[in-house]
Amino acid sequence: MVHTPHYQTPYITPYIVHAPKHGGPDDGGNNFLGQDLEYFSEAGFDMSKIHIRRNAPVAQLYEDAIRNEGAIISNTGALINFSGKKTGRSPKDKRIVYEETSKDDIWWGPVNIKMDEHTFEINRERAIDYLNTRDLVYVFDGFAGWDPKYRIKVRVICARAYHALFMNNMLIRPTEDELKEFGEPDFIIYNAGQFPANRFTTGMTSTTSVEINFKRMEMVILGTEYAGEMKKGVFSVMHYLQPVKFGQLSLHSSANVGMEKGDVTLFFGLSGTGKTTLSADPARQLIGDDEHVWSDTGVFNIEGGCYAKCINLSSEKEPEIFNAIRFGAILENVVFDIGNRHPDYDDVSITENTRCAYPIEFIPNARIPCHVDAQPTNIIMLTCDAYGVLPPVSKLSPEQASYHFLAGYTSKTPGTEDGVLEPVPTFSTCYSAPFIVLHPSRYAEMLADRMQEANAHCWLVNTGWTGGKYGTGKRCPLKYTRRIVDAIHSGELLSAEYENFDV
């Protein structure tokens, strides 16, 4: 008979500093009082059975993920975790609740599929029932939006330490005083992604469901453990609230600002076009890598972290991102060497959509707070042309800028969505069709007005293939694209000679 050893720690060294001042090893941050506890009870949580860890320390989330979820610590200290069967977003399973407060604003169709309120209630109840079966439930309270005038309070409720750490990195982390005074959240995410949706429920087409209710300001996740669904859920809410409630323009973009001139650049583009990579520029301060609001007074980041693609990542090509992968960061679905815990960023055996989530302050030249009181000077629209037709750079007239913003031509790259195994040409309106909530014309009109008021220059930069289409030509080398962007920032390209091509 083969003896199977048990790896549980038989004895835990007592804490040097004891409770009550610092608590013990199971002091999980269940620090809700009064109205907070009443909220959880009214929502259907059985407070006599579950233990809630609110805004748990990063180290504790590491411990729980390693102990309960099979997570691994990489050689640089990042937490390597896995999202299970789903390694990308599931856009066909996204639903918006059809209700009276928002139904006239939503752009209904294949992106925003209708769900009735009763089905939402069923799925919400299903998610809470599942969370009630867990010993540990994690809560993270944070903010979306760095400008206090326009930010919202977000509460994430989930069953995996990995998900709690992910949103700790992606939302804006509150100070101790802000957490004490947090109060009632503006938006709540119930993430029961380990538990499937009932596909026989009205409106369900699979065991995965990602749904948002703007009347209740709630999101429910079932049947997918891919953490990016939470991030994009928050963006969808901001994509609705900023134009409708605040009159500000939300954008799927990255942004940075010059250290000397203070000139702001917005980068538009879908996943895989280079927004994150190109905005991480050692000569400029990073405002953010993915989601922003162009307000009446300037530009601010929606998020508190970055969610970078890791495929073929190297310290030579992307040193800022490579060096951000340390303690506190999450490596998602990345293959590693079991012997030395070195991540293998070239291995795509799990997915090509390998990712890293880290707080934005892990980027050395990040601008903290991520908010600039200046209007953009340059707008760079990034596209990954799979056919090798577009030139590396084009200067756009205002009319051409509106055309390309509404058309949003690019190619979905492998791994950014479930089932995408090679580049697929697509037209993604406003460079954010998978996340758009209102009719595209509302965003386009606001963008045109703000560009005119700011007298901003607009450029179309192709980060895709040259010398032929995918499979024949080669993708434009990153160093060349960086040089093009440098020439835009220096003003060098403004004085260049151009050949006109009519739209």
Give the catalytic positions in this structure: 89, 232, 252, 271, 275-276, 290, 355
Triad 408, 411, 416: Cα angle to 5°: 110
* Angstrom distance (rounded) from CA 271 to CA 280: 15
Q: Give me the residue label for tokens 């303690």.
A: 327
**DSSP codes joined into one string, 36-58:** HHHHHHHHT--TTT-EEEES--H
* Closest by CA position to 292, among listed 261, 265, 272: 265
Q: Distance from first CA to last CA of the chain, Å, rounded?
A: 76
- Amino acid symbol at 377: T
48-66: burial string, b at 16+ Cβ within 10 Å, e else: eebebbbbbebebbbebbb
> Whose CA is closest to 476, among 408, 386, 405?
386
* Burial status of residue 369 (CB atoms within 10 A of its CB: 0-12, 13-18, 19 or more): middle
Helix or strand holding residue 129 (H, E)? helix 117-131
Quick check: 311 and 348 in contact, CB under 8 A? yes
* Cα(57)–Cα(164) distance, integer angstroms: 10
Given phi > 0 = left and psi -120 to 50 = alpha, else beta, which region is 277?
alpha
Please report, for residues 136, 353, 491, the alpha-carbon distance to residue 148 in angstroms, rounded to integers and kept in the order given: 32, 33, 33
Closest CA to 233 of 99, 131, 359, 96: 96
DSSP secondary structure code for residue 164 in this structure:
H
